[in-house]
Amino acid sequence: MRIRRLRATELVRFVDDLWLPFAREMATMDEFDTLAEHGVRANVFSYIKDRYSDDDIATFVADDGDELVGYVTVEKRASPPVFVRGPRGYIDSLYVVRSRRKHGIATRLMLRAESWARRQGCEHLSLDVHADNEIAQSLYRRDEFEIKRHRMTKRL
């Protein structure tokens, strides 16, 4: 199993094998994440392609030979100039295919994202996790993430 940077030639495969399954799973936790009925694949591909070209965003995949079994996307985000802190890394998404969970893949992906963020000069790494996603919360606590805020959402 190799953890490596996503390649431009793999974007379609990435969308089909990892991103869409991730998004569908997130939608089962919260209707806020429900995918549109039409044009999703094309729109996601365009979105992923744009993000792939951004130097402040990196996607790493878990490559098990011919199969991509997980990914993490990490961003470098600037802090407003009014703060002493420097840039921070932000985990946009983390996903491992169901059949490969509980094998340390998510931990390895997170370590790679953390290493990338450090090399980008980030002083902190943060993420959002669904309130009901206890498995992910457990992983993040093991990785020494601490709750600093609670994001609250209201339907309008």
Amino acid 76: pLDDT: 97
Amino acid 152: pLDDT: 86
Which ranges in the chain belong to alpha helices (H)?
11-14, 20-29, 40-52, 105-119, 134-142
Q: Tokens for 64? A: 């098990």
CATH code for the domain in which residue 78 is found: 3.40.630.30
Amino acid 127: pLDDT: 96
pTM exceeds 0.85, yes or no: yes
Provide the number of structural domains found in the chain.
1
Amino acid 108: pLDDT: 98
- pLDDT means per 10 residues, the chain with 156 residues, are 95 94 89 81 87 94 95 94 89 96 96 98 94 92 92 87
Structural domain includes residue 151? no
Q: The domain containing residue 72 runs over which residues?
A: 2-142
